[in-house]
Structure 1
């Protein structure tokens, strides 16, 4: 009788352990996948940007294990420029998707400095034979001042990309309106929800198809 009870207790304990393990694996699946990608080391695609990029579950979204998330939460384009060698160049991806600028604008960095940093980043990628793709800065919710600054930056990026034959992605046409980021695509004032990331991933997949990557 005691043996039977011990068997039941053991089975119950194992079920609890397995349930906890599966729950943890599901919650942290993107981190586990990114760890696998890092160890695997043969990534062709690199995502580079601030927290908006960092929060993307890119392995899942793009359904491939050769994409590395190198997002830097809270950082400005100055930091992206300074860390470009260690976070991108030395990892030798074929293509790098870049998005930044919103933190610069929030901190009051002058447009001239943001543009100079962006230009240096893109030029360095090209010189190192890494294909750059710019994701234009996404508008925030209901912030006319921020929206005006973002529009100015995006106008520069569009012009620069066209002049230098660099591909760019404009998410605002899908997820924003005249007031800024639509609530249906917003996690908060600045960050995106899963619906927005799915649209972004669709645009990225189209670029990868065009580039045959």
Structure 2
């Protein structure tokens, strides 16, 4: 027979297990709500450049690619520009970097978000950075490989972003010009038709370094 002491031990173990599960869940939820801010590549006090975007930004080892230790990668796979708006303060503004490189939008197109909303989100991102004296650098939404319908929408968005950046005196980097042809992302630069490979990242990084050296002097 199981005595009262054994019963209490079994009950206590169950409660402890439940508490641990609840604790783990709360930590995960906190990470989602804060944009996983605690996952950092270096001391946030030293961050001067933030690479902010979706999985395409996340896929680059930007510290190595740019050859400097003051870079933070804040890339969020699967996120739309609406998500980036929500995460801007915690993952960029609060770090007080000098420059923020923005990339995103292909997920918006993929899930059918109206372009007007994506445009509005970009205005919020750009204006929010300018308000806090952070230099925004908007990078073109990358084409996909052999996806003409997506390309039409990407072209529309990029034309808008280029014009808006000009109106605000903001830097715009056309990465598509280096990685794409008339049909979209070149086969030699993509691993799955959307995400890019190391060769593409190195070309992209060269454009960023050129801007930092020649225009931003940083």
TM-score range, shorter chain: 0.7 to 0.9
Determine the C-alpha separation between the residues in 2 that align with 1:174 and 1:83.
Answer: 29
- In structure 2, the residue matched to 1:212 is 217
Post-superposition CA distance 1:84-118 (Å, at most 9, x none)? 11111001110000011000000000010000000
- Deviation, 1:41, is 2.9
**1:187 aligned to which of 186, 191, 200:** 191
Aligned partners of 1:142, 1:179: CA distance in 2, in Å? Answer: 6
User: Are 2:90 and 1:86 aligned?
Assistant: yes
CA distance in 2, matches of 1:40, 1:98: 18
Give me the whole-angstrom Cα distance separating, in 2, the residues matched to 1:76 and 1:179: 24
CA distance in 2, matches of 1:129, 1:165: 13
* 2:177 paired residue number: 173
- For 2:15, the equivalent position in structure 1 comes to none
Alignment of 1:18-97 (within 5 A): 35=40, 37-39=41-43, 41-97=45-101
What TM-score, normalized by structure 2, do the two folds share? 0.80
In the TM superposition, 1:120-159 aligns within 5 A as: 120-159=124-163
Residue in structure 2 matched with residue 119 of structure 1 by the alignment: 123
Measure, in 2, the Cα distance between the counterparts of 1:200 and 1:158.
Answer: 18
Gaps of 5+ in 2: 1-38
Task: State the 4+ residue runs in structure 1 displaced beyond 6 angstroms.
Answer: none
Q: Count the aligned residue pairs.
A: 179
